[in-house]
Amino acid sequence: MGKAKLESYFNQKQSNGENLFVPYIMAGDGGLDVLNERILFLQNCGAAAIEIGIPFSDPVADGPTIQAAGLRALENGTTIANVLQVLQISKEERNVPIILMTYINPIYRYGIASFAQDCAEAGVDGVIVPDIPIEEEKFIADAFYESSLAFIRLAALTSKEDRLKEIAKRSEGFLYAVSVTGTTGAREAYVEEVRAYLEMLKSYSSVPVLAGFGVSTAEQAQTLSSYCDGVIVGSTIVDLFHRGDIEGIQQLIVDSIHPVTIRN
Tens of pLDDT, residue by residue over 206-222, are: 999 999 988 889 999 99
Q: What 3 state SS string does the chain have? A: CCHHHHHHHHHHHHHCCCCEEEEEEECCCCCHHHHHHHHHHHHHHCCCCEEEECCCCCCCCCCHHHHHHHHHHHHCCCCHHHHHHHHHHHHHHCCCCEEEECCHHHHHHHCHHHHHHHHHHCCCCEEECCCCCHHHCHHHHHHHHHCCCEEECEEECCCCHHHHHHHHHHCCCCEEEECCCCCCCCCCCCHHHHHHHHHHHHHHCCCCEEEECCCCCHHHHHHHHCCCCEEEECHHHHHHHHHCCHHHHHHHHHHHCCCCCCCC
Say what the pLDDT of residue 181 is.
Answer: 56
3-256 folds as TIM Barrel (3.20.20)
The pLDDT value recorded for residue 189 is 44
Give the predicted TM-score (pTM) of the model. Answer: 0.93
Q: Give the confidence band of 179 by pLDDT, cuts at 50, 70, 90.
A: confident
pLDDT class for 111, splitting at 50, 70, 90? very high
Span 42-83, pLDDT tens digits: 999 999 999 999 998 876 667 789 989 999 999 999 999 999
| Residue with the larger pLDDT of the pair 185 and 36 | 36
pLDDT at 261: 56
Active site residues: 51, 62
